């Protein structure tokens, strides 16, 4: 069945978005839903969006730069270490809690996230597919050994105590910040083989691991509807999942402030904050 398209041009999840919210509830009620979340879900936790309104223009480090140049690795690890302290201190917001409750109620079959902050798990979600990895893990690129990020952070702090004197820094969605000078920075290495360490996240220029995308695809394939919340869908992995949902003729709801690459294929677009919208959907679908 082809659903009519209904889009909201207004910025806030208030009475002006009630028609779109009502349409989404009518569309989703009784369905098993696959949910994809992006950076917009975590903005209420103090983690900024890459592309949201007012977001600064950034040039995230590419994987080839990290691999090929020690100075790039110094800059990355120095900024990531400072950012990690604030990143790790962020708490789940009511949107994350609503997602966990939607899962426990059987309304969604899990959550696919493009975020690396781990907040869905901390909010109580059980089946989380972190497409782009998680900042709380570190992996050796040589031998494959994994480390807890907290352990690496302790090593970094001991070897680079001067870094704590840096002025306030601006956090990015991947937990990185910009550092002016990193000449003195000591980069950590693998305590097992001496190899290169890297946070277990997908850098620009890397592919999403096949097993992760396969797991995410399985959630879409076993769903009756698809929600995109807080993602502009500018990253290829999100678009590929949307393509699968459309090919399967699933009704699609997009929740995001600002345009997304999925708007033209959404049956309902709710242009509002993800937290309040997810809370509203939980209240109405859980009746």
- The pLDDT tens digits of the residues spanning 193-212 come to 999 999 999 998 899 999 99
CA–CA distance, 225 with 60 (Å, rounded to integer): 33
- Sign of the Cα torsion 117, 8, 252, 262 reads negative
Q: Is position 12 within any domain?
A: yes
**Which band of pLDDT confidence, cut at 50, 70 and 90, is reported for residue 56?**
very low
Q: Is position 56 within any domain?
A: no
> Residue 138, CB half-sphere, CA atoms under 13 Å: how many?
22
Asked whether residue 160 falls in the same domain as residue 67, the answer is yes
- Residue identified by tokens 């096949």 is 210
Asked whether residue 97 falls in the same domain as residue 190, the answer is no
**Which band of pLDDT confidence, cut at 50, 70 and 90, is reported for residue 65?**
very high
pLDDT at position 225: 98
Asked whether residue 77 falls in the same domain as residue 110, the answer is no
Final residue belonging to a domain, choices 168, 201, 234: 201
7 is catalytic: no
Within 10 angstroms of residue 272's Cβ, the number of other Cβ atoms is 22
Asked whether residue 215 falls in the same domain as residue 266, the answer is yes
CA–CA distance, 158 with 146 (Å, rounded to integer): 20
Q: Is position 54 within any domain?
A: no
Rounded (to 5) percent helix, strand, coil in the chain: 40, 15, 45
CA–CA distance, 264 with 144 (Å, rounded to integer): 42
pLDDT at 271 exceeding the cut of 50: yes
Final residue belonging to a domain, choices 201, 219, 236: 201
Mean pLDDT in the chain? Answer: 86
Q: Is position 58 within any domain?
A: no
Asked whether residue 26 falls in the same domain as residue 128, the answer is yes
The 10s digit of each residue's pLDDT in 2-16 is 333 443 333 344 567
The CATH number covering residue 24 comes to 3.40.50.1220
- SS3 label, residue 17: helix
Q: Which residues are paired to 113 by β-bridges?
A: 37, 130
**Which band of pLDDT confidence, cut at 50, 70 and 90, is reported for residue 178?**
low
pLDDT at position 221: 97
Q: Is position 274 within any domain?
A: yes
Q: Which of 46-50, 79-83, 119-123, 157-161 has the highest mean pLDDT?
A: 119-123
Q: Which domain holds residue 264?
A: 6-49+93-134+208-285
Q: Is position 57 within any domain?
A: no
Asked whether residue 169 falls in the same domain as residue 182, the answer is yes
Final residue belonging to a domain, choices 201, 224, 243: 201
pLDDT at position 68: 94
- Report the predicted TM-score, pTM, of the whole model to 2 decimal places: 0.86
Asked whether residue 229 falls in the same domain as residue 252, the answer is yes
Asked whether residue 30 falls in the same domain as residue 101, the answer is yes
The 10s digit of each residue's pLDDT in 229-238 is 999 999 899 9
Q: Is position 55 within any domain?
A: no
Q: Is position 221 within any domain?
A: yes
CA–CA distance, 63 with 58 (Å, rounded to integer): 15
Asked whether residue 112 falls in the same domain as residue 253, the answer is yes
Asked whether residue 257 falls in the same domain as residue 185, the answer is no
pLDDT at 1 exceeding the cut of 80: no
pLDDT at position 133: 94
* Domain count of the fold of the chain: 2
Tokens of 215: 């797991």
pLDDT at 49 exceeding the cut of 50: yes
- SS3 label, residue 205: coil
Query: What percentage of the chain carries pLDDT values higher than 70?
Result: 85
Asked whether residue 81 falls in the same domain as residue 117, the answer is no
pLDDT at 167 exceeding the cut of 60: no
The CATH number covering residue 195 comes to 3.30.1600
Contact 201, 174 (CB under 8 A): yes
Asked whether residue 145 falls in the same domain as residue 112, the answer is no
The one catalytic residue in 81, 96, 120, 132 is 132
The 10s digit of each residue's pLDDT in 94-111 is 999 999 999 999 999 999
Cα distances from 167 to residues 109, 154, 182, in angstroms, run: 43, 20, 14
pLDDT at position 124: 97
> Helices 94-104 and 274-285: crossing angle, nearest 10°?
30
């Amino acid at each position: 069945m082809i659903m009519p398209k209904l889009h909201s041009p207004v910025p806030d999840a208030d009475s002006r978005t009630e028609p779109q919210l009502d349409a989404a509830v009518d569309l989703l009620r009784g369905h098993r839903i696959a949910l994809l979340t992006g950076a917009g879900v975590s903005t209420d936790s103090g983690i900024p969006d890459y592309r949201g309104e007012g977001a600064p223009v950034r040039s995230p480090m590419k994987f080839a730069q990290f691999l090929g140049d020690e100075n790039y690795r110094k800059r990355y690890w120095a900024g990531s270490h400072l950012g990690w302290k604030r990143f790790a201190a962020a708490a789940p917001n009511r949107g994350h809690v609503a997602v966990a409750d939607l899962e426990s109620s059987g309304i969604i079959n899990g959550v696919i996230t493009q975020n690396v902050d781990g907040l869905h798990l901390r909010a109580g979600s059980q089946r989380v597919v972190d497409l782009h990895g998680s900042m709380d893990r570190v992996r050796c690129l040589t031998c494959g050994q994994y480390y807890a990020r907290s352990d690496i952070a302790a090593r970094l702090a001991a070897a680079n105590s001067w870094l704590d004197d840096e002025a306030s820094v601006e956090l990015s969605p991947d937990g990185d910040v910009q550092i002016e000078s990193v000449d003195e920075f000591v980069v950590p290495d693998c305590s097992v083989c001496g190899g290169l360490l890297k946070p277990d996240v997908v850098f620009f220029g890397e592919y999403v691991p096949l097993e992760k995308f396969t797991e995410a695809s399985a959630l879409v394939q076993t769903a009756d509807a698809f929600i995109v919340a807080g993602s502009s869908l500018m990253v290829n992995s999100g678009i590929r999942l949307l393509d699968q949902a459309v090919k399967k003729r699933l009704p699609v709801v997009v929740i995001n402030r600002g345009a997304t690459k999925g708007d033209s294929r959404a049956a309902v677009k709710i242009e509002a904050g993800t937290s309040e919208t997810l809370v509203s959907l939980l209240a109405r679908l859980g009746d």
